[in-house]
Structure 1
Amino acid sequence: MRHSIIDLHPQRILIRSTNWIGDAIITTPAVRTIRRNFPNAKISILALPWVADVFAASPHVDEVILYQKKKEHSGMAGMWKLAGLLAEQRFDLAILLQNAISAAILTKLAGIPARAGYTTDGRALLLTNGVKLRREVKKIHQVNYYQEMLRGLGLVCGSNELFLQLPEPDIAWARAQAGGLGPGPLVGLNPGAAYGPAKRWPAGYFKQLATLLRRELRATMVVFGTGADAEAAREIEQGAPGHVVDLAGKTSLAQAMAMIGVCDVFVTNDSGLMHVGAALKTPLVAIFGSTNSITTGPYSDNAVIIQKNLPCRPCYKTTCETGFRCMLEITPQEVFAVVRKILVGAPTSQVR
């Protein structure tokens, strides 16, 4: 690193967001750190459309710029077009939370004079202010990953607490939806995970859990996810007919996030929506299979992680070829017992 970016006194800052919902949520403490170190700067964040709602109502950014990577900004021609649009805004500084070399190329093409970030992915020569990624940072929660980068750039880092502010119309919509569902606890179920099937607790287990929740606790369930989770949602509905609301693929991200915020408990795979629940402080039951709960678990004091200590995990594989024990050994009865304890206020271990 040549010097602290504080010494640059930037007036117009571009943040390149990460590309996935969970990663974007994990960067929210870093975005807050940037705002607090540059309280008078205009801060814009460049984000893909499916994560833009994470920052739409954030007081820490002044503008969300959409990176339409699958439309007008696709390919090299699209990147040149986007670079031209960014150049018109005359940014003084780009802070690259996304690690890809493409982020450094784009901001170089945009003529942004100061470009800061980790020197990973072969982009050291494209950065004016680079930070070397220390090995020990990879072993702790990823919230620290982005904060440590900013610390390396000379910023004073604030709290690691996740931050998510939602638009008032979406909050009002979620409250109205919840208010029309009748008495009893409202339990969110999230059977999806974009990473691959190795992160997905079986839909049949979610179905059995729905049956237990309705029979024992008179709960109403809301199923979250994308259109890709429609089949799983239909199977879950069979576990408690008439008492499961299928929202998979039927809401905006902001509406889904607001709905998670009104749930009494949220049962979820390791996914982007899991991190949403953590940021909103919704009581969570997070089910982990192939991934590492230490580095990517819900960053929340209001979460219980259920996982099996097997010699093969975390394997980080997208699919399992050795029996899927890490997920199959987590029973619906085990998850139900944790949900019950949360709802009645009984003490629970944060990792089971």
Structure 2
Amino acid sequence: MEKLYSLTGMEQKFELPYWVKEHFNKEKFHLILHPRSKGSSREWGISNFEKLIQLLPTERFTIYITGTKQEGESMPGLLKDLPDHVIDLSGKLSLEELISLIQTCDGMVACSTGPLHICAVSGKHAIGLYPPMRPLHPGRWKPIGPEVKIFSIDKNCNDCRNGGNCPCIENIRPNEVAEYLIGLTEERKIQTINI
């Protein structure tokens, strides 16, 4: 595995826009929340992301919400009246800028999406939210990287096989995810690079 990481280690190739850079404070953990998957995976649910934001201490975290413009439009409740430490970047970044943001931040929380895999291979904290259902389970789609943490319900379930909401992934408790993230700040595992 060490050889894999050395082969796939990514360098920051693209410049972040100045209006994103201005939010960076080296004293904080910079966390990306990527709530949507464009239907490619089961999603945790907007209410869980809202609860997670409320549970994370503002003095320790700066939070960036990412996604496409359409995904941003599909989560108006989450993006309405954001606190100062939460920045909505949905639909505002090119793919290159998103990759640069991922490489600059400390970690990401997302379901099984391409950005989560980019985060993992970049050596950042990739916190994945997965259903237990085959073939969508983490045994098949877990990202590969040195700082990957997966949250999934230990249950054999196919209740959402035909689409729709997934009770198993939605039952991953926001406080468990928050405790893990807060623990990262306490362990001083922050890996923000200079921008």
User: What range is the shorter-chain TM-score in?
Assistant: 0.7 to 0.9
Query: Aligned residue for 2:88?
Result: 246
Deviation at 1:265, TM superposition (A): 2.2
Distance 1:239 1:257, change over 3 A: same
Deviation at 1:284, TM superposition (A): 1.6
Flag the structure with larger Rg. Answer: 1
2:43 pairs, out of 178, 182, 200, with: 200
Query: Aligned residue for 1:286?
Result: 128
Q: d(CA) in 1 for partners of 2:143 and 2:65?
A: 19
Aligned-residue Cα RMSD (Å) equals 2.9
Aligned to 2:54, what secondary structure does the other structure show?
A: helix
Query: Aligned residue for 2:35?
Result: 191
Query: Aligned residue for 2:171?
Result: 329
Q: d(CA) in 2 for partners of 1:230 and 1:176?
A: 18
Amino acid in the other structure paired with 2:117: H
Deviation at 1:299, TM superposition (A): 0.2
Aligned to 1:173, what secondary structure does the other structure show?
A: coil
Q: d(CA) in 2 for partners of 1:160 and 1:305?
A: 20
- Counterparts in 2 of 1:1-352, with a 5 A limit? 159-161=3-5, 162-167=8-13, 170=14, 172-173=15-16, 177-182=20-25, 184-196=28-40, 199-215=42-58, 217-231=59-73, 234-238=76-80, 240-289=82-131, 290=133, 291-312=136-157, 317=161, 319-320=163-164, 324-345=166-187
Q: d(CA) in 2 for partners of 1:246 and 1:256?
A: 13
Q: d(CA) in 2 for partners of 1:235 and 1:214?
A: 20
Gaps of 5+ in 2: 190-195
Deviation at 1:281, TM superposition (A): 0.9
Identity among equivalent positions (%) equals 20
* Count of residue pairs the alignment pairs up: 182
Q: d(CA) in 2 for partners of 1:305 and 1:203?
A: 19
Deviation at 1:179, TM superposition (A): 4.2
Q: Which has the higher contact order (CA 8 A, sep 6+)?
A: 2
Q: d(CA) in 1 for partners of 2:167 and 2:96?
A: 34
Residues 211, 239 of structure 1: 8 Å contact kept: no
Residues 233, 246 of structure 1: 8 Å contact kept: no
Q: d(CA) in 2 for partners of 1:280 and 1:309?
A: 28
Distance 1:338 1:318, change over 3 A: farther
Amino acid in the other structure paired with 2:100: A
> What is the TM-score when the length of structure 2 is the normalising length?
0.79
Q: d(CA) in 1 for partners of 2:16 and 2:185?
A: 24
Distance 1:174 1:294, change over 3 A: farther
Q: d(CA) in 2 for partners of 1:206 and 1:192?
A: 11
Kindly provide the CA deviation profile for residues 92-151 of structure 1, in whole angstroms up to 9, marking residues without a partner as x: xxxxxxxxxxxxxxxxxxxxxxxxxxxxxxxxxxxxxxxxxxxxxxxxxxxxxxxxxxxx
